[in-house]
Amino acid sequence: MSKIDLFRPKAVIFDMDGLMFDTENLTIPFWDIAGKKFGYNIPPEIVLKTVGISAARSRVIMLEEYGDNFPYDDIRGEFRQIVINDIEKNGVPKKPGLDYLLDRLSAAKIPFGLATSSLRETALFMLERAGVLDKFAAVTGGDEVENGKPAPDIFLKAAEKLRCSPSDCVGFEDSPAGLRGLHAAGIKSIFIKDNLEPPPEVLETVWLRCRDLQEAAGFLDIRDFNLKKNGLFIIS
């Protein structure tokens, strides 16, 4: 299949926006809608600078762009409400292969968790609306750690919640910040591109790059060794 050997992780950690759900492409224009209510234009190229990082780091970027009087918290609150309203009306757009991969991991009894820069409350809402919340063993939001991505904190906390050593985990990410965080945490990373192409030095840290989540499933040893028939273990 590849020069990459199959690897059976003891746990899997997922990013959310842009990786599990096609929410970044959906919501990038919402920043401009929210900004206009306060007299600001926020084009996509500015929003893309904040992809995958914490709210605190996003605030710094926005203040550098618009000045110290920029009402970041007010606009972010408005943005969040627009997103919630849209998701409640139209549902959560899932990335290709998500349900397939989650079902394979569940069948193989490999626990998986979430490590997102979004608020934990937002993450729970998104997972519930997508119909996958009950499949996740742990959910970690950006508000649960002091240092957001690209620091390793959120991934280390996610691994701790999953009761697994970071070196025994695999992490899925779409952003350069997330990939940096996985590498710093000592977690094998699987990169699936959404909007941003990481710089070469970040790509060098990536364990595996895949087209989508279904393709990634083929590189993980997630066969079910626990099925039993006529007293014998079988592999599915």
Q: Where are the domains of the chain?
A: 11-22+93-234, 23-90
Q: Tell me the C-alpha to C-alpha distance, in Å, between residue 60 and each of 43, 56, 63, 68, 128.
A: 17, 7, 5, 9, 31
**In CATH, which of 3.40.50.1000, 3.40.50.720, 1.10.287.990, 3.40.830.10 is domain 11-22+93-234?**
3.40.50.1000
pLDDT of res. 230: 45
Question: Secondary structure of the chain: what % helix, strand, coil (to 5)?
Answer: 45, 15, 40
pLDDT of res. 1: 37
Helix (H, G, I), strand (E, B) or coil at 167: helix
pLDDT of res. 227: 45
pLDDT of res. 91: 94
Counting as low any pLDDT under 70, the low residues of the chain are 1-5, 224-236
pLDDT of res. 231: 42
pLDDT of res. 2: 43
pLDDT of res. 234: 35
pLDDT of res. 226: 53
Between CA 50 and CA 149 the distance in angstroms is: 11
